[in-house]
Amino acid sequence: MRMTTSSFAPAGRLEGTTPPDGPLTREAFRDAMARLGAAVHVVTTDGPGGRAGFTASAVCSVSDTPPTLLVCLNRAASVYPVFEANDTLVVNTLGADQQPLSGLFGGRTPMDERFAAAHWHAGPGGAPRLADAAVAFECRIASRVAAGSHDVLFCDVLAVHLGPTAHGLVYFDRRYHPLLPAPH
């Protein structure tokens, strides 16, 4: 994988071990996590609780038998009660040209404005699927586990849709980085 940006100024402290004394702080942990590159997703839902979507990087494969992934959702997010009331979601993984959606779904934008910025397909479970997402996972939420500030949603993956883009998008060091295939 080849990053297309030469800007690699690291977040937070440059080097060293934290903490010198006392417990590890939330900020130091977040600075450390900024050094883990992650794909960017817009997670959507619709159902009895209404329609909602939020940007997530805390999405992970759990198992291929059965196909399962997890999504970590902050219980303080405005979308939390909606996801709590619904039992389906779609994980829409963004391509490089869909970066603006990450900002829109990343908070503080009214829900109608978020969805008005893109085209969506109605999935079989009801949750909106982003047209031309790099990949989309149609899921049913199988279980939820509270862990610290977040709920971990374990999701059965019912269908996948592979999109047209070959250019992925990664969030690293608190910035977006488009990915290009390595030259042969």
Ligand X SMILES: Cc1cc2nc3c(=O)[nH]c(=O)nc-3n(C[C@H](O)[C@H](O)[C@H](O)COP(=O)(O)O)c2cc1C
> Contact residues for ligand X (CB under 6 A)?
40, 54-58, 72-74, 77-79, 102, 105-108, 171
Complex with ligand X: residue 55 or 93, whichever CB lies closer: 55
Complex with ligand X: residue 5 or 78, whichever CB lies closer: 78
Angstrom distance (rounded) from CA 154 to CA 59: 10
Cβ 135 to ligand X shortest distance, Å: 17
Cβ 20 to ligand X shortest distance, Å: 29
Complex with ligand X: residue 124 or 174, whichever CB lies closer: 174
Cβ 101 to ligand X shortest distance, Å: 10
Angstrom distance (rounded) from CA 24 to CA 15: 15
Cβ 79 to ligand X shortest distance, Å: 5
H, E, C per residue of 122-133: ECCCCCEEECCC
